[in-house]
Structure 1
Amino acid sequence: MAKNLVPESKQGLNRFKTEVANEIGVPFTDYNGNLTSAQCGSVGGEMVKRMVAKYEQEIK
């Protein structure tokens, strides 16, 4: 298992994941085994999209 380089980031990423899921209509809970891979992938994809956009804004 990979080590977290910044342990405090886990809570922030979970909050971000929940926020994104709510915005795109994916019903995330403590157990997400009932979701499709497409639903989970759409949340992860949107998270990456937003993180890249934020980084691109900061380097301009």
Structure 2
Amino acid sequence: MSNRKLVPQAKAGLNKFKMETAKELGVNFTDYNGDLTSRECGSVGGEMVKKMVQQYEENL
């Protein structure tokens, strides 16, 4: 499985979404995130997926 974006133009929007979600969770994302734990990074990704699923379900 590839980690490439299906819509490359969405990169800026996804990055903004990631930063907003990290801020809500109290995770300090920066340009360098090597000092963050896997749990912290995973919590941001998991929360992003939850929000995307919730938005999709609301639009059905």
In 2, distance between residues paired with 1:30 and 1:13? Answer: 15
C-alpha distance after superposition, 1:16-54 (max 9, x if no partner): 000000011000000001000000000000000000000
Helix, strand or coil for the counterpart of 1:56?
A: helix
Counterparts of 1:3-22 in structure 2 under 5 Å?
Answer: 3-22=4-23
Kindly tell me the number of residue pairs found equivalent between the two proteins: 59
What is the aligned-residue identity percentage? 63
- Counterpart residue number, 2:29: 28
Q: Structure 1: which 5+ residue stretches go unaligned? A: none
Backbone CA RMSD of aligned residues: 1.2
Give, in angstroms, the shift of residue 7 of structure 1. 1.0
Work out whether 1:57 is the aligned partner of 2:58. yes
The 3 A distance-change label for structure 1 pair 2 and 40 is: closer
The 3 A distance-change label for structure 1 pair 56 and 22 is: same
In 1, distance between residues paired with 2:7 and 2:41? Answer: 24
Moved over 3 A (4+): none
Q: What is the TM-score of this pair, normalised by structure 1?
A: 0.91
